[in-house]
């Protein structure tokens, strides 16, 4: 019985692992796989093809970098959260701060972004904050 429970990861760990998987794919330039981890609300913001082209264009062309490193903070559980002001509230969302470090032609710089993970159809998914 103990072995079973030691293999089960907490929701917090699962959320953090999903965020890590997303950024692992982004590091490799595999934007199709990272897009697949998006929540349906995110997928409604841009098509897969547009996302792949845009991410590659911004990071590879504008920043002139081939990859980046990243650090993930500890997940914070939120009882309820909305991606946009008028979007459907989601329950049991985990907020995770991610700091991406880029080294390119414009020097070294960091981007800090809060990323949100929530289960959708029994799969952990990723969202970004669009509230203004």
Which single residue is written with the structure tokens 């547009």? 50
Average pLDDT, the chain: 91
Range of the domain at 99: 9-128
* Domain-embedded: residue 108: yes
* Domain-embedded: residue 105: yes
Q: What is the pLDDT of residues 49-80, one digit of tens each?
A: 999 999 888 877 777 887 799 999 999 999 99
CATH number at residue 90: 3.10.450.100
Confidence of residue 132 (pLDDT cuts 50, 70, 90): confident
Q: What is the pLDDT of residues 16-36, one digit of tens each?
A: 999 999 999 999 989 999 999
* Domain-embedded: residue 1: no
Round to the nearest angstrom and report the end-to-end CA distance of the chain. 48
* Domain-embedded: residue 4: no
Using a 10 angstrom Cβ sphere, with 0-12 exposed, 13-18 middle and 19 or more buried, the burial of residue 97 is: middle
Confidence of residue 110 (pLDDT cuts 50, 70, 90): very high
* Domain-embedded: residue 102: yes
* Domain-embedded: residue 119: yes
* Domain-embedded: residue 101: yes
Whether pLDDT at 8 is above 80: no
> Is pLDDT larger for residue 76 or for residue 104?
76
* Domain-embedded: residue 54: yes
Domain count, the chain: 1
């Amino acid at each position: 019985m103990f072995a079973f429970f030691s293999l089960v990861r907490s929701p917090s760990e699962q959320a953090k692992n999903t965020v890590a998987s997303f950024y692992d794919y982004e590091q490799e330039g595999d934007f199709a796989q990272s897009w697949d981890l998006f929540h349906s609300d995110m997928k409604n913001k841009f098509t897969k093809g547009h996302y792949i082209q845009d991410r590659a264009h911004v990071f590879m062309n504008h920043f002139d970098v081939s990859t980046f490193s990243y650090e993930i903070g500890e997940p914070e559980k939120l009882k309820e959260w909305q991606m946009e002001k008028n979007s459907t509230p989601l329950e049991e969302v985990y907020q995770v701060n991610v700091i991406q470090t880029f080294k390119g032609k414009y020097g070294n710089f960091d981007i800090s972004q809060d990323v949100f993970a929530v289960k959708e159809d029994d799969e952990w998914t990723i969202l970004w904050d669009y509230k203004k």
